[in-house]
Amino acid sequence: MSSAAHTYALSTLFEHKLTPMQHMMFLRCVRPDKLMAAVQIFVEREMGEQFIRPPPFDLLTSFRDSSPNTPLIFILSQGADPYDEWKRFAETQQMSKKLFDISLGQGQGPRA
């Protein structure tokens, strides 16, 4: 099976009769594993690249949006480690003594 199935044109019998939305519905039936990639291409073509690219993360803006009732929670992908950036930010805000982190590993759920 192809890893780029979502980019292939259908046979000429279907290609010009299906709208992009119908093409994605067809893809969902035959290759559901490729639907997300097809949706990203669809959104980029119809709405623009800015709708599929995440904005750069701004820690200061996020911090300003937080509060004691709305804390910042970071859910990271494997290998990501923003701790050094977070520590530098705490120092610039004169809050390094108030900074503490909790890794939600084994047994840390109750502490969090």
What is the number of helices (H) and of strands (E) in the chain?
A: 5, 0
| Alpha carbons 31 and 25: distance in angstroms, whole number | 10
Q: Regarding predicted confidence, which is higher, 81 or 45? A: 45
- Identify the band that residue 111 occupies on the pLDDT scale cut at 50, 70 and 90: low
Residues 41 and 18 in one domain: yes
Residues 12 and 47 in one domain: yes
The answer to whether residue 98 is domain-embedded is: no
What are the pLDDT digits (tens) for 23-72? 899 889 989 999 999 999 999 999 999 998 888 888 999 999 999 899 88
Domain boundaries, position 68? 59-92
The answer to whether residue 102 is domain-embedded is: no
What is the chain's mean pLDDT, rounded?
82
- Identify the band that residue 97 occupies on the pLDDT scale cut at 50, 70 and 90: confident
Residue 87 pLDDT exceeds 60: yes
Q: Is the pTM of this model over 0.85?
A: no
Residues 36 and 63 in one domain: no
The answer to whether residue 66 is domain-embedded is: yes
Residues 44 and 69 in one domain: no
pLDDT on residue 55: 82
102: left (phi over 0), alpha (psi -120 to 50) or beta: beta
